[in-house]
């Protein structure tokens, strides 16, 4: 049995759904953002501020290589930008079933209102930035995913049920 890899935009529910799915399946949850923070010894916002996005993306690549060595089937929650980089897509697909948690801009804005931990949303114009980034990333998410689950208006448990149905688990 392979990993289940959750991809999607920030605020799509990858971490929340990942925790619920891992608990439901009795698997470990591997959160790539958390793994990056452990490896770097600081928060992602600090990596962006001190070293920039390219340094963060290099760490993502290293984590992907590490995940390829994981033998026990796990639920993997990825950072929202991981599939945007074309060379990451085949590596993600090789890990197991890639599920794109698709979310509308309105849902993202509602979920992330007041969240100061999202480096790509810092500064003004969050609404236009979310719409722009989502439109930019949608093709990469679709290209990477084996399955697409629209999550707007769904609870984490409903999304878990849908993923289990898709994967015949």
Binding residues: 11-16, 33, 57, 80, 118, 137
Annotated binding site for Mg(2+): 15
Neighbours of 82 (CB within 10 A): 23
Binding-site positions for substrate read: 33, 57, 80, 137
Q: 126-142 in b/e burial notation, b at 16+ Cβ within 10 A? A: beebbbebbeebeebbe
Going by the annotation, the residues of the binding site for ATP are 11-16, 118
Cα separation of 132 and 112, whole Å?
16
């Amino acid at each position: 049995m392979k990993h289940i890899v959750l991809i999607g935009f920030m605020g799509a529910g990858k971490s929340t759904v990942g925790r619920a799915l891992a608990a439901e399946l009795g698997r470990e949850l591997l959160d790539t953002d958390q793994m990056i923070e452990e490896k770097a010894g600081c928060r992602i916002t600090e990596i962006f501020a001190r070293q920039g996005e390219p340094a963060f993306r290099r760490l993502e690549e290293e984590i992907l290589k590490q995940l390829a060595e994981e033998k026990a089937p796990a639920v993997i929650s990825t950072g929202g930008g991981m599939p945007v980089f074309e060379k990451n897509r085949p590596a993600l697909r090789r890990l197991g079933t890639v599920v794109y948690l698709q979310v509308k801009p309105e849902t993202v804005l509602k979920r992330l209102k007041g969240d100061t931990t999202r480096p790509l949303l810092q500064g003004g114009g969050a609404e236009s930035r979310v719409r722009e980034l989502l439109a930019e990333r949608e093709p990469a998410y679709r290209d990477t995913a084996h399955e697409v689950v629209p999550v707007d208006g769904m609870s984490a448990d409903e999304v878990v049920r849908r993923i289990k149905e898709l994967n015949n688990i």
